[in-house]
Amino acid sequence: MLYHFGVLTSSVHMAWTRAVCGRLEMRYSYSNTIVYNNFIWPETTADQRAHIESTAQGILDARALYPGASLADLSDATTMPKELRDAHNANDRAVLAAYGFGKGATESEIVARLMTLYAEATK
């Protein structure tokens, strides 16, 4: 469960979401059939998977430091507590590494690679 949470809360999955997800006004309309089911998960080693699980737990631990805050408060890029931002950054690095991306991978590079992986998976 932690592994899935870690990948789904990563910048990689968010890049995929922004690329393929529909919108309703300004909000994303996340669909299991379009977004989730077509998302290509990384092929991980046991160590990579364990590291993602650890960083995902770090996100949950950082959220727990703010029991009175709403998820919306904790997700806002301008008000996110430093501990939580650091935990998300650590998780992003772990997920990016699992896909073979370097530290400076751009969103367009991430989406291009995911689209290539998707095309290969659906041949």
Q: pLDDT tens digits, residue range 101-111?
A: 987 899 999 99
Is 114:38 a contact under the CB 8 Å cutoff?
Answer: no
Structure-block tokens of residue 70: 């709403």
List pLDDT tens digits, range 22-74: 777 877 777 888 889 999 999 999 999 999 999 999 999 999 999 999 988 89
Is 90:58 a contact under the CB 8 Å cutoff?
Answer: yes
Structure-block tokens of residue 82: 């430093």
Q: What is the DSSP letter of 24?
A: E
**118 exposure class (CB count in 10 Å sphere: 0-12, 13-18, 19+):** middle
